Amino acid sequence: MGEPRDEFAEAGARARQALVREIEAYGELSDPAWRAAFAEVPRHLFVPWFYVSGTGGYQRLWSGDPDPVRRERWLRGAYADTAVATRVRDGELVSSASQPSLMALMLRALDVRDGDDVLEIGAGTGYHAALLCHRLGEEHVTTVDLEEEIAESARTHLGAAGYRPAVLAADGARGCPQRAPYDRIVATCAVPAVPYPWLAQCRPGALVLAPLSTGLILLRVHDGTHAEGRFLATSAYFVALRGSAAHVAESRRPRHGPAGDERFGFLCGLVATTLNRREALSLWLREGRPERERFGVTVSGDRQWAWLDEPGGPYAWPLPVA
């Protein structure tokens, strides 16, 4: 029995090419392998419905809507370079599909090589895992999500697109030891600190990329208890990791600062356990409103801390136990 017919394949292909051109304009698809992945993986199969916010709350758009205008709006939204809300519960966003250009930036930063084994934390719709499968082969990709319903949905979407990586329902903060070791770990949900099990499941020299505060930290793993790296320059907003670290992530939601400068909100998210808002503002102004790439994170044994400019410099703040 073959795969189900995709009635939106032709229109989706045209929309996909337009999306690729848009991402290319940002300079994020210089690698032909990633360009091919974005050009060939049908994103609309991974978002058969999504929600848009309106005056009365969230409104659902879906592929089976009998109204052709709304169906066309759904398909256009599936290939827009924006994040889309895919699961809403009691009026709160539970899961979303990330902005494609941000995905491309993260995948480029991940610097995967042929044969690398990758663990994704946060299966979401399965689209990010599909891009990894296209680039590396499904046997090299593992993705986990806390909720069985989300994991099963991602598994279904991946199967419809012709990919069958390992998709497991598990607490992402604990990684996936049964499929370890990994050369790359990438999280598509925000963490309050680097979960120690991730490092223990990495090969020496592995890279870990994760949203922390409103940035993306890229760590080089030295061994199972030591890693270090800096934040990428871009801002990044993700749904918080749920499970064992959820209560910490929720309590560290960043805020905007003077004149709405979200870089100050990023700093607040890093130093919330150490500095109050006034102290953080004083530091931020004194250091010339530092950009994200001046900050980094070090994990050493059972300690980890964020820092400004240098790991052993005068500005360092402990991160919560992960």
Helix runs in the chain, H state only: 9-25, 32-40, 68-78, 100-110, 127-136, 148-160, 196-200, 246-251, 262-271, 277-286
User: What is the distance between the alpha carbons of residues 148 and 154, in angstroms, rounded to a whole number?
Assistant: 10
**Structural domains of the chain ordered from first start:** 98-318 (3.40.50.150)
Task: Report the SS3 class of residue 70.
Answer: helix
User: What is the distance between the alpha carbons of residues 120 and 138, in angstroms, rounded to a whole number?
Assistant: 12
Active-site annotation holder among 63, 95, 101, 235: 95
Q: Which of 180, 117, 182, 128 is nearest to 154 (CA)?
A: 128
pLDDT of residue 204: 97
Q: Which amino acid is present at 67?
A: D
pLDDT of residue 92: 76
User: What is the distance between the alpha carbons of residues 47 and 85, in angstroms, rounded to a whole number?
Assistant: 9
Compute mean pLDDT per 10 residues along the chain, 322 residues long, and list them. Answer: 70 96 93 97 96 82 94 96 88 84 97 98 96 98 95 97 97 97 96 96 98 96 97 92 49 44 92 92 95 97 96 94 66
Read off the pTM.
Answer: 0.92
pLDDT of residue 262: 87
Task: Say whether 95 is catalytic.
Answer: yes
Q: Which of 153, 150, 106 is nearest to 132 (CA)?
A: 106
- Radius of gyration for the alpha carbons in the chain, expressed in angstroms and rounded: 20
pLDDT of residue 4: 56
pLDDT of residue 258: 56
